[in-house]
Amino acid sequence: MQKTQDNLYMILAAIFIASLVSCNLIFQKFFAINIWIPFIGNYTFEQSVGLLAYPITFIVTDIISEIYGRKKANQVVTSGLVASIFMLFIVTIADVVPMASWSKVTSSQFNHVFGLSSAAVFASMVSYLFAQYIDIRIFHFWKRLTDGKHLWLRNNASTVFSQFLDTCSVLTLLCFYNVIAWEKFSTLLLNGFLFKVFFAAFDTPIIYMITAYLRKKFNLEFGQELSSQ
């Protein structure tokens, strides 16, 4: 049983780290889709493709927090920070090494795609530290307050608040470093926050199903953590 618990934790940690690193690598592409919103009508939703993977990190930390406890969740957050710094180191080296004459990707093309990674990773890491640690802290605050009940409340309350801080701080830093124009700030802030609020509500039944399965598999009472066994 212990081996299964450890293997699952490693898989969740791997998903978390891969999602976080992916966000920092692909953020420079922005998408725009037309959607219809009641009482508003047609609305053009604009956002970075990096947004698509980032909410997954909050799902993972909520699952780990619920099953493994706060300490394990914080360990995953720290691992993601180390992975992001190491990724930045590798990308920086790859950007400065000389290009071979037959390389299909030129130095200018590589720099155009990955050259802003340092600013993006710095902005992401600062907001990431605030958002993830706050998410875990609020999650466990509500867990203690409700005596382990109302998973939907701590999942949404922690994610919505921390995601707003994350969106606001990362956009502020990206605009400050001229990665994104300031006139896009309010639109991207609103779009990013609404997307994350929607995703927090959408993933609630998913978290319920996953944690219910894991509690049954590991013989945990509702609200109980493996760290307390």
Residue 126 confidence (pLDDT):
66
Instruction: Delineate the domains of the chain, giving CATH numbers in brackets.
Output: 2-218 (1.10.1760)
Q: Give the Cα separation of 168 and 174 in Å (integer).
A: 10
Would you say 24 and 45 are in contact if contact means Cβ atoms under 8 Å apart?
A: no
How far is Cα of residue 2 from the mean position of the Cα atoms in its chain? 27
Residue 102 confidence (pLDDT):
95
Which tens digit of pLDDT belongs to each residue from 182-229?
888 888 888 888 887 777 778 788 888 898 899 888 888 877 788 665
Residue 116 confidence (pLDDT):
62
Residue 99 confidence (pLDDT):
93
The DSSP code sequence of 157-194 is HHHHHHHHHHHHHHHHHHHHTTSS-GGGHHHHHHHHHH
What sign does the dihedral 69-206-17-117 (CA atoms) show?
A: negative
Q: Which residues of the chain have pLDDT under 70?
A: 115-126, 128-129, 132, 148, 151, 155, 157, 159, 227-229
Beta strand ranges found along the chain (DSSP E) = 30-37, 41-48
Residue 10 confidence (pLDDT):
95
Residue 12 confidence (pLDDT):
95
